[in-house]
């Protein structure tokens, strides 16, 4: 069982619960390559009664067929869902258009109650390193939120005015106290959500290679000339020799091999890959 729950995350969970009564909409960011694993189960009971928009982040790196399946899955649960490539302005415009549509619906309900307030407030949540800070900066068209390639950059909740129509409450990326299923922790490590110290990197990459062999065997064949992953020691040796991950004496550096494979995955060099689909058991 994997456990990791820094103090600031516990505090953020309390802040989210406290501020929910002040928001009209929840924008939840998940990683399109692992939507289930990157959705915080501890937050779901808190936000179940709120209108929710789910953004499948990094959709440009995910398997398009799997992403369509996830869109269908989340829509069946009465969510609004959008696949997002955060550096594509058209995608940012779609988010704003969706929020405007939701805003109009909220405004109509307010008017029925005699409430006149044109601005809506949205809570934006997601696990660490899912792309939340980058998205906020794109939405406001300037650098407000800090950006980094390490989990845990945003530390405090903050209100951010996007335009005259809506405001965002930005919160730090939040994980949950423990992952009862070890594969969830490994998937989060693969996509860069949790810190390297939590799960041994070589174990994470061994799991990734096994998943690739199960889901995309042609990728392993094309990228690393691998026909199987029966002997992980031999697999690391082969990749290391191909990619020059050697140390003195010509021995393969397994840590370097792990870094290479993870970078190949995260950069999209392994093609568009998804680590799970809705019908996985």
List, for residues 231-274, the tens digit of each pLDDT value.
Answer: 999 999 999 999 999 998 889 999 999 999 999 999 999 999 99
Which residues lie below 8 Å from residue 81, measured CB to CB, with a gap of 6+? 53, 54, 55, 56, 70, 71, 74, 75
Q: What is the pLDDT of residues 121-137, one digit of tens each?
A: 899 988 888 998 899 98
CA 57/CA 193 separation, integer angstroms: 13
Say whether pTM exceeds 0.85.
yes
Of 218, 269, 266, give the one whose Cα is nearest residue 243: 269
pLDDT classification of 164: cutoffs 50, 70, 90: confident
Three-state SS at 132: helix
Q: What kind and span of H or E run contains 35?
A: none
Is-contact 25 122, C-beta < 8 A? yes
CA distances from 68 to 53, 100, 232, 254 (A): 16, 24, 32, 36
Mean predicted confidence (pLDDT) in 18-27: 87
Query: At 153, is the pLDDT very low, low, confident or very high (cuts 50, 70, 90)?
Result: very low
- Give pLDDT tens digits for 266-278: 999 999 999 999 9
Q: Which domains does the chain have, with CATH numbers?
A: 2-178 (3.40.50.300), 200-267 (1.10.1580.10)
Instruction: For residues 65 and 176, give the distance between their C-alpha atoms in angstroms, rounded to a whole number.
Output: 29
What's the pLDDT at 98? Answer: 92
**pLDDT of the residue at 142:** 60
Bigger pLDDT: 174 or 216? Answer: 216
Give exposure, 208-237, as e/b (b: 16+ Cβ within 10 Å).
bbebbbebbeebbeebbebeebeebeebbb
Instruction: State what percent of residues in the chain have pLDDT above 90.
Output: 53
Alpha carbons 106 and 24: distance in angstroms, whole number? 8
Q: What is the pLDDT of residue 15?
A: 78
How do residues 67-123 score in pLDDT, each as one tens digit?
Answer: 999 999 999 999 999 999 999 999 999 999 999 998 888 888 887 888 777 788 899
């Amino acid at each position: 069982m994997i456990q990791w729950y820094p103090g600031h995350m516990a505090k953020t969970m309390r802040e989210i619960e406290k501020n929910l009564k002040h928001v009209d909409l929840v924008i939840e960011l998940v990683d399109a390559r692992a939507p289930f694993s990157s959705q915080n189960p501890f937050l779901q009971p808190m936000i179940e009664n709120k209108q929710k928009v789910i953004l499948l982040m990094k959709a440009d790196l995910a398997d398009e067929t799997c992403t369509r399946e996830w869109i269908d899955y989340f829509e069946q649960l009465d969510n609004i869902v959008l696949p997002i490539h955060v550096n594509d302005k058209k995608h940012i415009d779609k988010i704003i258009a969706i929020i405007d549509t939701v805003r109009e619906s909220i405004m109509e309900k307010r008017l029925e109650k005699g409430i006149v307030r044109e601005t809506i407030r949205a809570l934006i949540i997601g696990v660490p390193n899912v792309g939340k800070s980058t998205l906020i900066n794109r939405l406001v068209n300037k650098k407000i939120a800090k950006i980094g390639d390490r989990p845990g950059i945003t530390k405090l909740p903050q209100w951010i005015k996007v335009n005259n129509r809506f405001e965002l409450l930005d919160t730090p990326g939040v994980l949950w106290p423990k992952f009862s299923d070890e594969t969830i922790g490994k998937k989060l490590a693969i996509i860069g959500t949790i810190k390297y110290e939590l799960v041994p990197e070589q174990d994470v990459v061994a799991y990734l290679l096994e998943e690739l062999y199960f889901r995309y065997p042609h990728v392993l064949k094309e990228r690393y000339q691998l026909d199987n992953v029966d002997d992980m020691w031999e697999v690391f040796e082969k990749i290391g020799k191909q990619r020059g991950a050697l140390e003195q004496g010509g021995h393969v550096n397994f840590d370097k091999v792990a870094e290479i494979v993870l970078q190949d995955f995260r950069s999209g060099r392994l093609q568009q890959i998804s680590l799970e689909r809705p019908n996985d058991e």
